[in-house]
Chain A
Amino acid sequence: MFEIITDIILILILPFLFIGVINKTKAFWGGRKGPSILQSFYDCIRLFKKGQVISNTASFVFCMYPFVVLGTTFFAALLVPFAFSTAIININGGFILFAYVLGLGKFMSLIGALDVGSSFEGMGASREAAFSAMVEPAFFIVMASLAAMTGNFSFGSISSLMTHAGSLGYLMIILAAITFFIIILVEGCRVPVDDPNTHLELTMIHEVMILDNSGADLAMLTYSSALKMVIFASLIANVILPDDLFFTHSLIYYLLIVFVIALLVGTLESAIARLRMSRVLDFIFIMSSIGLTILALVAVSLFS
């Protein structure tokens, strides 16, 4: 019971802190002092106090879609294990439900972007649709391989990997962590996939889809995208940590790993440039290659 409450508090608070740490890291590498860690929290409060401007072309789809995105991302967060090795809602085949619930959010954001009738959002929607098409197969291959390895079809399989895997286990853990990290970069629209700071034509993918949203809508969308990053960061944390830790140790290690992941994302964003658009698809496909490698390692360790 206590774990559920802690998890819900983490779901509500961590996304803001995550973005805060990333921005602080970028500022550090840029030699600046940077915004405070709680800045995105203050931003959300400020946005909630404002009104809204809605475009003339928009229909009910546009007014409705931020809530669907918020609802689906929040529900997806309930399906994933956070600080403790079991999720709040732990069902068999959970990762399929998880992937498709996130897909519902993505569908609504794509049509919400097309609703406005401007070519900016259309460009963002077209690119986002193409990139997210490549992410799903990689995620499914990784989860299916882990399920085959551990015999557990829910998200509990990722925590119990070390105990089942034997000699190749740590290798699978590292590769799975790398895959989830690349998914963070894609879903959270960080460099090298997209640049969250600018809206130039070169980098219009995610930020430009929410160009016409204002007020409370914008706050909800920012929170949802940060929550998606935190979800995948907790997946990495759960892959690395074993599942039989004591309660407080588990929480502390989890927060430490999420903090390190935020530092890594910020450092990566300051260190490398955004890839050329045609290269981004190659980069996303490499995730599938890594997934296939995990599958092959599972095959080797199960049949020898």
Chain B
Amino acid sequence: MEDTLVLFFAFTMLYMSVASRLKSSIKMLCLQGLLLFLIFNQLSAHVETFNYIFLAFETLVIKMLVIPIFIWKIAKKNETFTDTEPSMPRFYSLVIATLILFFGFIFAAISRHHLLVTNPIPFGISISTIILSLFFITVRKKILTAIIGYIMMENGIFLLSLSIEKEMPLVVNAGVLLDLFIAVFVLGFLVHRIDRTFDKDTMDVLVQLKDSENDD
């Protein structure tokens, strides 16, 4: 059953590569949170109650409700609802996303023999999710989409830690803390109104943070 859910997770990443409205990307984030909860339920049969409640709270509440609502609030305030033209035509980004997903699977197939992973499919898909989200951050132009890409990378890391959970149960908790970090970051963005300092909100404005060359 978990293979279906992981596959569904992979398809949400594929949908992200074609979507250009911010609202659909945020819906994908909620969907990913729900899927991670279900996957986590399937994969870990024997967990202590405290761990279980912590992870359930984290996936259900933070990933599915808190972070998407924060991002939607920022989007409404900045009135950015669509992503502007990405750096490469959308069709090519779809093709590259397909290829990365495919190689994630092949990696999963190889890893069964050589790396002795218990669950090859979540392992392979999590690697491809991480690479895909890095690809999105590179290609897209808006800062908000970059933040969404970062959150997806974290989801990928969470999935990775779930798939090797039998060996290292502590890594799962560590992955959760990453999420708390991003929640604080987004909250800071929202509360302190950092966005007001920048007029536009594309990634190019971050270039202004660079030190100038002739500094004395």
Contact residues of A with B, CB < 8 Å? 167-168, 171, 174-175, 278-279, 281-282, 285-286, 288-289, 292-293, 295-297, 299-300, 303-304
Contacts and interface: CB of A to CB of B under 8 A. Distances in A.
A293 B101 contact: yes
Contacts of A175: 7
B18 A282 contact: yes
A183 to B, nearest CB: 17
Nearest to B102: A292
A293 B109 CA distance: 12
Nearest to A281: B91
Contact of B112 (A174, A281, A303): A303
B173 interface: no
A282 B90 contact: yes
Interface string B1-34: 0011001001000100010000000000000000
A292 B109 CA distance: 14
A292 B94 CA distance: 13
Contacts of B18: 279, 282, 286
Given A171-B3, A285-B91, A289-B101, A299 B109 contact: yes
Nearest to A286: B14
Contacts of A286: 14, 18, 94
Contacts of B98: 285, 288-289, 292
Contacts of B120: 300, 304
Interface of B: 3-4, 7, 10, 14, 18, 90-91, 94-95, 97-98, 101-102, 105-106, 108-109, 112-113, 120-121
27 contacts: A171-B3, A171-B4, A171-B7, A175-B7, A278-B90, A279-B18, A282-B18, A282-B90, A282-B91, A285-B91, A286-B18, A286-B94, A288-B98, A289-B97, A289-B98, A293-B7, A293-B10, A293-B102, A295-B102, A296-B105, A297-B105, A299-B106, A299-B109, A300-B121, A303-B112, A304-B109, A304-B112
Given A168-B3, A171-B4, A296 B94 contact: no
B4 A296 contact: no
